[in-house]
């Protein structure tokens, strides 16, 4: 090689120095991140929680603040203590706190949501390995923990302090408890007005607005929520028919089943929690129907008016099994054994 060529080459090297980033394909990524998804869930939870504050007053805001703060601090201190990277900024602890608040009565003593937040993050999430590893929805597991431990405080719902419109404002029990007691609350009230219940259950419309936002942002798909609601209604009817009490099934009764308790918000915000629901298409069908069956059993046969939280955390436990038996057939692989030729 003669000199001029070498010099020329040396110059070429400085002007065409290649980059140093080396990685396996693909070399492009969608902009969406886990934190962005969590942020969308936080935004979607604002209408239901906001209506809770509207309906139950400042006290509800206080409960929400305690839940969220408790979750964030528990995660922060646990990760600090364990010398792990602190992942509070991924907003998943905030979401857990908000979901927990959704499930709290506004009048609860504040140390209970505090304890609930610690239980959700420490026991259900972090001790199982952190984000993505928990086998149950942390907020719902914490709710059930509180429900078992402090049944009375967890089921005492204060009257709404404000309603959207005056007519027929209800007090005392939740619509679902009313139908359980044999009464028949007016369905227009349940759909349009605020009603008693947990903080996040105050307004049906607010829940639907949050759900519509998640659907529009493609954070969730409609499959699990829709199937869960439909199958709950179906199983509630079926069980009543089998039990010989088909006469209780009225429009008001069914609307109370959907909107009068935790089903709607549970279906759109908790049953389809990424970590604890199946990803396979048929798995989602089986899981949603299982939740519907359990919810109907708890509500109609069980002693409590509600059943959504227990149904979901029980359903969560079946998810790994359901997924294993519903892995879809790969493209072009035939049904019969040895189809891969």
Q: Which residues bind other proteins (CB under 8 A)?
A: 5, 12, 15-30, 32-34, 36-37, 87, 90, 92, 130-133, 274-277, 279-281, 323, 327-334, 339-341
Comparison of 251 and 341: residue with beta carbon closer to other proteins: 341
- Cα atoms in the Cβ-side hemisphere of radius 13 Å centred on 191: 8
Comparison of 284 and 309: residue with beta carbon closer to other proteins: 284
Nearest to 200 by CA among 139, 116, 245: 139
Comparison of 12 and 226: residue with beta carbon closer to other proteins: 12
CB of 170 to other proteins, least distance (A): 38
Based on the number of CB atoms within 10 Å of its own CB, is 175 exposed (0-12), middle (13-18) or buried (19 or more)?
Answer: buried
Residue 318 DSSP SS3: helix
CB of 127 to other proteins, least distance (A): 15
Confirm if 289 and 311 have CB atoms less than 8 A apart.
no
Comparison of 131 and 209: residue with beta carbon closer to other proteins: 131
Residues for the chain: how many in total? 341
Name 319's Cβ contacts closer than 8 Å, sequence gap at least 6.
135, 276, 277, 278, 283, 287
Comparison of 306 and 323: residue with beta carbon closer to other proteins: 323
CB of 318 to other proteins, least distance (A): 15
Name 271's Cβ contacts closer than 8 Å, sequence gap at least 6.
224, 225, 228, 277, 288, 291, 312, 315
Confirm if 311 and 294 have CB atoms less than 8 A apart.
yes
CB of 234 to other proteins, least distance (A): 25
Comparison of 252 and 284: residue with beta carbon closer to other proteins: 284
CB of 142 to other proteins, least distance (A): 19
Comparison of 21 and 83: residue with beta carbon closer to other proteins: 21
Nearest to 35 by CA among 76, 83, 91: 91
CB of 334 to other proteins, least distance (A): 8
CB of 11 to other proteins, least distance (A): 11
Nearest to 146 by CA among 310, 20, 32, 312: 310
Please report the sign of the dihedral spanned by the C-alpha atoms of residue 124, residue 128, residue 132, residue 135: negative
């Amino acid at each position: 090689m003669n000199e001029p060529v070498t010099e020329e080459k040396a110059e070429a090297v400085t002007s065409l120095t290649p980059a140093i980033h080396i990685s396996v394909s693909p070399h492009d990524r969608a902009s969406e991140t886990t934190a962005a998804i969590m942020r969308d869930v936080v935004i979607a939870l604002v209408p239901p929680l906001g209506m809770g504050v509207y309906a139950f007053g400042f006290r509800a805001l206080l409960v929400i603040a305690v839940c969220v703060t408790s979750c964030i601090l528990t995660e922060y201190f646990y990760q600090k203590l364990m010398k792990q990277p602190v992942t509070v900024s991924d907003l998943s602890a905030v979401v857990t706190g908000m979901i927990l608040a959704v499930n709290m009565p506004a009048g609860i003593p504040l140390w209970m949501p505090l304890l609930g937040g610690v239980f959700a993050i420490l026991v259900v999430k972090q001790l199982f390995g952190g984000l993505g590893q928990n086998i149950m929805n942390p907020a719902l597991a914490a709710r059930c923990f509180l429900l078992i431990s402090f049944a009375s405080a967890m089921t005492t719902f204060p009257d709404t302090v404000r309603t959207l419109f005056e007519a027929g404002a209800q007090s005392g029990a939740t619509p679902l408890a009313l139908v359980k007691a044999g009464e028949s609350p007016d369905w227009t009230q349940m759909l349009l007005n605020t009603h008693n219940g947990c903080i996040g259950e105050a307004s049906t419309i607010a829940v639907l607005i949050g759900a519509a936002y998640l659907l529009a942002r493609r954070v969730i798909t409609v499959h699990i929520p829709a199937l869960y609601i439909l199958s709950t209604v179906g199983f509630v009817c079926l069980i009543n028919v089998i039990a010989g009490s088909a006469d209780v099934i009225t429009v008001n009764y069914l609307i109370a089943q959907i909107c009068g308790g935790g089903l709607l918000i549970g279906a759109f915000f908790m049953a389809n929690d990424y970590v604890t629901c199946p990803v396979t298409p048929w798995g989602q069908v089986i899981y949603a129907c299982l939740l519907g069956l359990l919810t109907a059993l708890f509500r109609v046969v069980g002693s409590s008016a509600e059943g959504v939280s227990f149904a979901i955390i029980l359903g969560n436990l079946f998810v790994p099994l359901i997924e294993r038996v519903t892995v879809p057939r790969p493209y072009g692989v035939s049904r019969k054994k040895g189809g891969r030729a």
